[in-house]
Amino acid sequence: MNREALEKVIVKYLNSIKNHSDRLPGSFDHEDIHDLRVDYKKARAFLRLLQLEKDAGDLGMPAKLRSLYHHCGKVRDLQLFLIELQALPVAAFLPVCISQWKQQLFTYKEETVRAIEAMDFKKIRNTLLKKLPRQLQEQTIIQFAHEKIAAVHIVLLAADHEDDLHTTRKQIKDLIYNIRIFEGDWGIPFPVSGWKSEKSLSNMASRLGDFNDRCIALSLLQSGYSANCHEKEKLALQELQAGWQQNKETRQQQLLQQVHLLQLEHRF
């Protein structure tokens, strides 16, 4: 794949990130935040692949773009958490906690707006384009897939913690995002197949993503304890937390067993 094709991918996703970020202030629509973060992760995965080319420069995501991504993540996590929580009967017993979380969400949105205002997408684009390699070779793609699969195998040798599942998810997602760039942006199949099927790989990544969301929600719930909360609120939080914690631990054990069935192979 020549340099022009590589540039088009980077420009496409940077432009998409900019378009979503331009719409965020004032609305903070869930879909815009989700799509911005997916575009960021696709661009990041693609740069990680290109980084393996010998003539590539330092293709890490620029600091200001990383900052925007993380700020958007804080908003998204708390938005989804509040939507889930307020749909539960227990929400009626948590007025102080919910008020504090809403205030925290407002603060996160303000921080995100400042991160957007600090962005210079033209500068970021020009910086990244200058560091791209001349081409993307098939051997580099094979090496990338090999490293990702090897990283998963190493984690699974002694996987027994939620962090092992999060690490596995990140490695798999880097593969999936690049597969989709090849198929969606270039209209060609990914030249490596070290797994039973892309569908099984994608389904596992989705289940791991849902588990990650559950871990984040539990962490946010634990942050709700406050000296301002009445004793009844604290008791309601503790009861909800116990249920969520049990659900998380059950799901964690299921996923630790399921990831071993992925059949990732070094057969390419």
For the segment 56-96, what is each residue's pLDDT rounded down to a tens digit? 999 999 999 999 999 999 999 999 999 999 999 999 999 99
What average pLDDT does range 106-130 have in this prediction? Answer: 97
Tokens in use for 26? 């004032």
Which residues sit opposite 263 in a β-bridge?
none
User: Which position has the higher pLDDT, 1 or 265?
Assistant: 1
Is the predicted pLDDT of residue 16 greater than 80, yes or no? yes
Predicted confidence band of residue 227 (pLDDT cuts 50, 70, 90): low
Predicted confidence band of residue 228 (pLDDT cuts 50, 70, 90): confident
Phi and psi angles of residue 57, each rounded to the nearest 5 degrees, phi first: -85, -165
Instruction: Give the 3-state secondary structure of residue 135.
Output: strand
Q: Where are the domains of the chain?
A: 1-136, 138-268
Q: CA-CA distance, 145 to 166, in Å (whole number)?
A: 18
Q: What is the model's pLDDT at position 230?
A: 81
What mean pLDDT value characterizes the chain?
Answer: 93
Q: What percent of the chain has pLDDT over 70?
A: 98
Closest CA to 144 of 67, 250, 231, 46: 46
Q: What is the model's pLDDT at position 156?
A: 87
Q: Give pLDDT tens digits for 142-169.
A: 999 999 999 998 998 888 899 999 999 9
Q: What DSSP element (H or E) covers 200?
A: helix 198-222
Predicted confidence band of residue 104 (pLDDT cuts 50, 70, 90): very high
Tokens in use for 33? 């935040």
Q: What is the model's pLDDT at position 98?
A: 94
Contact between residue 173 and residue 205 where contact means Cβ atoms under 8 Å apart: yes
What average pLDDT does range 214-236 have in this prediction? Answer: 87
Q: What does the longest C-alpha to C-alpha distance in the chain come to?
A: 64
Q: Exposed, middle or buried: residue 82 (CB in 10 Å: 0-12, 13-18, 19+)?
A: middle
Contact between residue 141 and residue 189 where contact means Cβ atoms under 8 Å apart: no
Model-level pTM greater than 0.75? yes
Is the predicted pLDDT of residue 266 greater than 60, yes or no? no
Q: Give pLDDT tens digits for 26-60.
A: 899 999 999 999 999 999 999 999 999 999 999 99
Q: CA-CA distance, 254 to 229, in Å (whole number)?
A: 35
Contact between residue 132 and residue 3 where contact means Cβ atoms under 8 Å apart: yes
Is the predicted pLDDT of residue 259 greater than 70, yes or no? yes
Q: What is the model's pLDDT at position 267?
A: 53
CATH second-level architecture of 1-136? Alpha solenoid (1.40)
Q: Give pLDDT tens digits for 192-218.
A: 887 777 888 899 999 999 999 999 999
Q: What is the model's pLDDT at position 265?
A: 66
Q: CA-CA distance, 219 to 225, in Å (whole number)?
A: 11
